C-alpha cells in the first residue's frame, strides 16, 4: 500500500461560526491530497489522458481542528478496478497525532478528451492500488 501525505495549515478562512474548521474544508483537503498523490505518482502521459470525478464521499468527523493547527493529510488507494478507485484519507493534527477525520471516497477515471468514463491501464492501477 502506497501512502502519500502532505501538511496543511488551518487558515482564518477555514473557520466557521463554531470557531473550528468547517466541514467543507475537510472535503477540500480530501480532494487536494488525492490530487497531489495522483500527480506525484502518475506519469505525464497518464495525467494528460486520465482525469478523475468523485462518485461518493464518506467522511467521519472525530474532533475539530482549530485556527493555527498544522494538519497532516494521509491518503492511499484501496481497491482499484479498471473503472473505479477506492481511496482512503486520514486527517490528523500534527502536534499530537490525533485523528480529526477519516474519509472513504470512490473515484471514477474519465478520458480528459471526451469527459467520459475510461478504463485505467493495469500499469497505472499497479502504481496506486493495494
Quick: pLDDT tens for 19-34. Answer: 999 999 999 999 999 9
Q: Which helix (H) or strand (E) holds 23?
A: helix 23-41
pLDDT in tens, 50-81: 999 999 999 999 999 999 999 999 999 998 88
For the chain, what percent of residues have pLDDT higher than 70? 98
Query: Do the beta carbons of residue 29 and residue 70 sit within 8 Å?
Result: no
Could you tell me which residues are beta bridge partners of residue 89? 75, 103
pTM: 0.92
Q: What are residue 67's phi and psi, to 5 degrees?
A: -55, 135
Evaluate if residue 1 carries a pLDDT over 70: no
Query: Do the beta carbons of residue 49 and residue 5 sit within 8 Å?
Result: no
Report the CATH number that the domain containing residue 43 is assigned in CATH. 3.10.129.10
- At residue 82, the pLDDT reads 80
Q: What is the DSSP string of 53-111?
A: EEEEEEEEE-S---TT-EEEEEEEEEEE-SS-EEEEEEEEETTT--EEEEEEEEEEEEE
Q: Based on the structure, what is the number of domains in the chain?
A: 1
Expressed as residue numbers, the domain containing 48 is 4-128
- At residue 125, the pLDDT reads 81
Amino acid at each position: 500500500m502506497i501512502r502519500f501525505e502532505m501538511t496543511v495549515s488551518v487558515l482564518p478562512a477555514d473557520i466557521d461560526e463554531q470557531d473550528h474548521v468547517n466541514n467543507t474544508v475537510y472535503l477540500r483537503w480530501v480532494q487536494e491530497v488525492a490530487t497531489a498523490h495522483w500527480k506525484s505518482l502518475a506519469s505525464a502521459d497518464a495525467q494528460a489522458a486520465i482525469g478523475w470525478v468523485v462518485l461518493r464521499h464518506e467522511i467521519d468527523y472525530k474532533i475539530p481542528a482549530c485556527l493555527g493547527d498544522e494538519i497532516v493529510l494521509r491518503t492511499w488507494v484501496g481497491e482499484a478496478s479498471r473503472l473505479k478507485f477506492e481511496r482512503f484519507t486520514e486527517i490528523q493534527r500534527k502536534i499530537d497525532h490525533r485523528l480529526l477525520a477519516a474519509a472513504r471516497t470512490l473515484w471514477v477515471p474519465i478520458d480528459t478528451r471526451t469527459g467520459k468514463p475510461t478504463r485505467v491501464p493495469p500499469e497505472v492501477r499497479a502504481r496506486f492500488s493495494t
